[in-house]
Structure 1
Amino acid sequence: MAARLSHRNGLFRRLSQFRPSFLSGLILIIGLFSLLQLLSIGVLSQTVTQVKQGSHTQDIQGQQQALMDQTRMEVMNASDKLNRAGIYLLYDKESGSVGSWQSLMEEAETSLKLAKSHYQQLMNAVPSDQRDAAFSELTTHYQQLYDGLVELAQGIKQTNEIDIFFAVPIQAYQNMFTQSYARYLKDSDQRQQQTAQQLIGQLDRTQTVFIAVLAALLVIAALVWSGVTRLIVRPLHHIHQHLQNIAAGDLSQPLTQSGRTAREINQLSQSIIVMQTGLVTLIDQVREGMETMLGHVAQANDDNQKLSTQAECQFKELRAATEHVEELNQHLEKHERHTQQASRHAEETSHIAGKGEKMMDDVRVAMRAISDRSQQMTDVISLIDNVAFQTHILSLNAAIEAARAGVQGRGFAVVAREIGTLASQSSHSAQNINALISQSDQSVSSGAQRVNQLNDSLQNIIRAARETSSFLNEITTIAQQQNRSIHEVTHRISSLNESVKQNAGQVAASADTFSSLLQQAAQLNSAVSVFRLPEPSQNEVDYSAPERHAVSNASVMADGHPSEPQARVSVLSVKNPIASADYHS
């Protein structure tokens, strides 16, 4: 008995500590709603099936009644037309007419054929197991009436007499058929009323079931609302108020847990307790670190300001060096232009000296030609002098011969004297010309020597001009190399200047960043100072037990095996018990 009581107390204690899961409750509610829905669907399906069956039965009965009405109408038409055919036959016998009744007879036969066709359709439409006594009586009386009408029509056509009307009791058959048809209609109406009453009864039962389901849904909704309010809404409202206090900066009050809540709400409460503990630890460490960070940030800001000043000085010095290098570059470019111009002038001088050398060669050739012509003229003058001497000898000989002739030779002596005079003059002139040619030859020789000396001077000038041009070209090449080097130095200094400028900008941006960081650190320190933390003794008393309880819950895995029994709450990561909680129902 004691063991049974202990077992019962333990079971009651476990039941009292059991916390229903939101997922299990949701599955239970969905299951109840699904069962009610299935029940409603089953009742509705049964009702729809019965309505379909009743409607099908009424349709079949309507089709049967329509076929019976058509059969009755055709039989009655045939009976009426046979009666009229008998009247026309009696009239023909009295008046002597022939065949006035035959058209009515044909119409009666047509009606009988249609009646037979409708009757066959009716018999095919009604199964043998659904034929009751009223239907069998109706078909029997119909068959009697139909057979009587066929017999009457055949008798009239064969005998052409109306006596057959008295032999076949058509009226009796018709009366019995009419009475049977009336009973058939009455039974059909009763069956339709019975089917309608069954449908109405089924609809009433369906309505009752739906009302019961609706009442059950209302009861379940009320229970769900009450359970959700007690297990979820109220604890969530309490948690919301506590989170609002935390958002307002009040971390001094711990979260009080309600007695019975959903499993997820309990896990959320434990997580909030762990979070609040971590926030308290975090804010303590942030407060301690903010003062140190403010000092370091201020020192870094001062160092950055000094670095910014040095960067500005370097930028100014580099800019001045860049200006000097650019000025030197301009001077080198000007010197290069002058050197190139002097080189062009030296080349032009060398070219002109070359032309002078060519002209001196032409002059030397011309002087040699003049010397050759002078030699030829000397030879000619020598020839003239020789001729003059010979002429003078001839004149002397002529004078001697004239003197010998005496008076007869006196005129010839005059001529000889004149010829001698002319020969003397020619010889004297030839000597003068020869002297002039000798002087000219000496002058030409002296000019040739001067021309040779001038040619040597021109060669020296050309050689010096070419050496000067080569030297100037070397100077130009060196100046171009220096210019390229200066350009490269200028480019390097410009790049260095840009780098220094960028460094200065980055240092300025870093200074602004440090200033902003200093302001933000001050704002963060002000923001952290808003939080109201519990006293150290209160923190130890209020938060140690919930934290251990939350961490122990977080250490239980889904399979029920505990992990490490101890846990630490750090600044960067706070363990969440929801991450390892059991969500299975």
Structure 2
Amino acid sequence: MFRRIRISTCVFLLLMVFFVMQLVSSSFSFNGFRIDYQNFTQVNVGSQQRDALTMSWVALLQTRNTLNRAATRAARNVAQEQVSVLMTSARTYLAQADAHFKQYLAVPRITDKGVELTGNVQVSYEKLQAALAELIVFLDSGQLQPFLDQPTQSFQDNFEADFSAYVEYINGHLQVAADSSRESYSDSKWSFGIVVTLSLLITLLGLMWLKKALLQPLETMREHFELIAGGNLAERIADFGRNEIGVMFSALQKMQASLAGMVHSVRQGTDAMLHGVQEIAAGNDDLSSRTEEQASALEETAASMEQLTSIVKQNADNAHQAAKLARQTSVTAQKGGEITGDVVTTMQHIALSSQKISDITSVIDGIAFQTNILALNAAVEAARAGEQGRGFAVVAGEVRSLAQRSAQAAKEIKGLIDESVSRVRQGSDLVESAGSTMSDIVRSVAQVTDIMGEIASASDEQSRGIEQVAQAVTEMDGVTQQNAALVEQASSAVRSLAEQAGMLANTVSVFNLASARDEYLINDSNDKSAIAVRDSPDWKTA
């Protein structure tokens, strides 16, 4: 029966039963508390009324006793001070009686009878209080005879009767409240006992159901889990109905069958894996030998590239050195061209100076010619003068001789200067030709410098390219070495994988698959029904 009812439904019903019992128990408890509260309220109100009325009655008695004592002393003609003290006390007691009676009236009445009795008490109290107040007036005025003639005792007897009736009523009412509380306590004990008994009974039934519907199936499931953990996949798992536990056992059946299928597949795959691992190991050995050959070839290539790199670097250095020398030569040629230009300029200045000297020599020659003419004229004039002009003729002859020699010297200087000017012109032409040649040399040296710079740049690019190739070859060598190491690691891993595959085969051989796969086929329909129960709306709601 327990296997047909869903656990969620049983738990819900059990909780509802406990809820109803708790509701009933709470109702009984609340009713008991309500009755106790009402009784407590009545007792409290009755006690307040009784205490206030009693204290008022006591104060009235003390007032009358004090007045009687004062009247006795006044009749004996005792000192007036003692009488005044007693009168003051009487007034105080009467005021206390009024205060307590007001407290009594302020407390609300519980029943209609209490209201009626309170009215009687109030009437008799007012009469007694008025009589006592009148007695105080008689004593204050010294009227002893009216004091003695007043019927105060009858007022006191009436109030005492009404007081006793009200106290008796209050005591009876308090007794009723006490009896009601005892009855409520007795009912609470019986209801508590019944609720506890029913709770114990339902708890025992719930424990029995819990053991039957949950604990025993869970213990059985634990045993199956231990068997599966021990490698026994052939133990048959019984059907536990269509409730939640049944769904769990159906899932356990499916898990057992799935594990059996997986173990069977693992066994088949282990053999195939061993064969594949052996082939991989052989391929890795072949790859390892080829990788080692490739690594040695790359090492030789790397060494050759390093040698070629050093040669190219040396050529690049030489090209840089030649370019540097060409630049220095170009600078020197430029300086030579500048100096040659300066020489040409200087030669031109010299030619101009020589031309000026030639002009000056021509002027000197003209002056000598004119001086010679003047000397001839002077000689002619001296000859005409005769004896008197002989000395002047001598002087004129000397001047003429000097003029002729000066003219001869000027002619010689002019010839030399013309020859010098001609040679200066030839030198200037040669210097100009040399300057043009130096300019051609400078241009050629500049072209050589540019070509050497291009050669140096090309050598640098070639050197960098070869360095990159060498670096790439070095990296390829490193990668090849790493590949060789990886191949060795792969070979080691394959050998380890082969060992692990053997261990896996030994591990899988522990499982007992005698009938687990057949049972999976038998219980396939049960699995589908269990899954249907699990996927149903009721299952999800529960």
TM-score class normalised by the smaller sequence: 0.7 to 0.9
Call closer, same or farther: CA 1:150–1:350 in 2, change over 3 Å: same
Name the CA distance, whole Å, in 1 between partners of 2:521 and 2:284.
Answer: 46
Call closer, same or farther: CA 1:439–1:293 in 2, change over 3 Å: same
Which deviates more from structure 2 when the two are superposed, residues 233-242 or residues 100-109?
100-109
Asked if 2 retains the 8 angstrom alpha-carbon contact of 1:294 and 1:521, the reply is yes
Asked if 1 retains the 8 angstrom alpha-carbon contact of 2:4 and 2:241, the reply is yes
Name the CA distance, whole Å, in 1 between partners of 2:304 and 2:46.
Answer: 120
> How many Å apart are 1:250 and its aligned residue?
1.4
Q: Which residue of 2 aligns with 1:31?
A: 16
1:44 aligns with 2:29: yes
Q: Which residue of 2 aligns with 1:562?
A: none
1:88-116 per-position Cα deviation (integer Å, ceiling 9, x unaligned): 5535xx58x98986786676456545534
Task: Name stretches of at least 5 consecutive residues in structure 1 with no aligned partner.
Answer: 1-15, 559-577
1:211 aligns with 2:193: yes
2:334 aligns with one of 327, 347, 351: 351
Identity %: 23
SS of 2:144 mapped into structure 1: coil
Q: Which residue of 1 aligns with 2:527?
A: 551
Amino acid of the residue matched to residue 32 of structure 1? V
Q: Which residue of 2 aligns with 1:274?
A: 254
Asked if 1 retains the 8 angstrom alpha-carbon contact of 2:257 and 2:519, the reply is no
Task: Name stretches of at least 5 consecutive residues in structure 2 with no aligned partner.
Answer: none
Amino acid of the residue matched to residue 53 of structure 1? Q
Call closer, same or farther: CA 1:140–1:390 in 2, change over 3 Å: closer
1:468-525 per-position Cα deviation (integer Å, ceiling 9, x unaligned): 3444455456556656766776787788788778877877776676566555544433
Name the CA distance, whole Å, in 2 between partners of 1:424 and 1:262.
Answer: 166
The 5 A counterparts of 1:404-483 are 405=387, 422=402, 425-426=405-406, 428-475=408-455, 478=458
SS of 1:131 mapped into structure 2: helix
Call closer, same or farther: CA 1:89–1:504 in 2, change over 3 Å: farther
Call closer, same or farther: CA 1:56–1:528 in 2, change over 3 Å: same
Q: Which residue of 2 aligns with 1:64?
A: 49
Call closer, same or farther: CA 1:156–1:418 in 2, change over 3 Å: closer
> How many Å apart are 1:325 and its aligned residue?
7.1
> How many Å apart are 1:244 and its aligned residue?
0.6
Call closer, same or farther: CA 1:376–1:506 in 2, change over 3 Å: farther
1:373 aligns with one of 356, 370, 380: 356
TM normalised by structure 1 equals 0.76
Q: Which residue of 1 aligns with 2:215?
A: 233
Call closer, same or farther: CA 1:199–1:532 in 2, change over 3 Å: same
Name the CA distance, whole Å, in 2 between partners of 1:581 and 1:271.
Answer: 18
Q: Which residue of 2 aligns with 1:7?
A: none
1:299 aligns with 2:282: no
Name the CA distance, whole Å, in 1 between partners of 2:67 and 2:223.
Answer: 102
Name the CA distance, whole Å, in 2 between partners of 1:580 and 1:525.
Answer: 42
The aligned length equals 537
The 5 A counterparts of 1:86-125 are 86-87=71-72, 89-91=74-76, 108=90, 111-112=93-94, 115-116=97-98, 118-124=100-106, 125=108
Call closer, same or farther: CA 1:338–1:281 in 2, change over 3 Å: same
The 5 A counterparts of 1:70-81 are 70-81=55-66
Amino acid of the residue matched to residue 349 of structure 1? T
Which deviates more from structure 2 when the two are superposed, residues 236-245 or residues 247-256?
247-256
Call closer, same or farther: CA 1:106–1:413 in 2, change over 3 Å: closer
> How many Å apart are 1:355 and its aligned residue?
0.7
1:248 aligns with 2:230: yes
Q: Which residue of 1 aligns with 2:7?
A: 22
Call closer, same or farther: CA 1:106–1:434 in 2, change over 3 Å: closer
Call closer, same or farther: CA 1:187–1:441 in 2, change over 3 Å: closer
> How many Å apart are 1:234 and its aligned residue?
1.9
Amino acid of the residue matched to residue 153 of structure 2? Q
Name the CA distance, whole Å, in 2 between partners of 1:227 and 1:501.
Answer: 73
Asked if 2 retains the 8 angstrom alpha-carbon contact of 1:22 and 1:262, the reply is no
> How many Å apart are 1:230 and its aligned residue?
2.3
Call closer, same or farther: CA 1:389–1:126 in 2, change over 3 Å: same
Q: Which residue of 1 aligns with 2:114?
A: 131
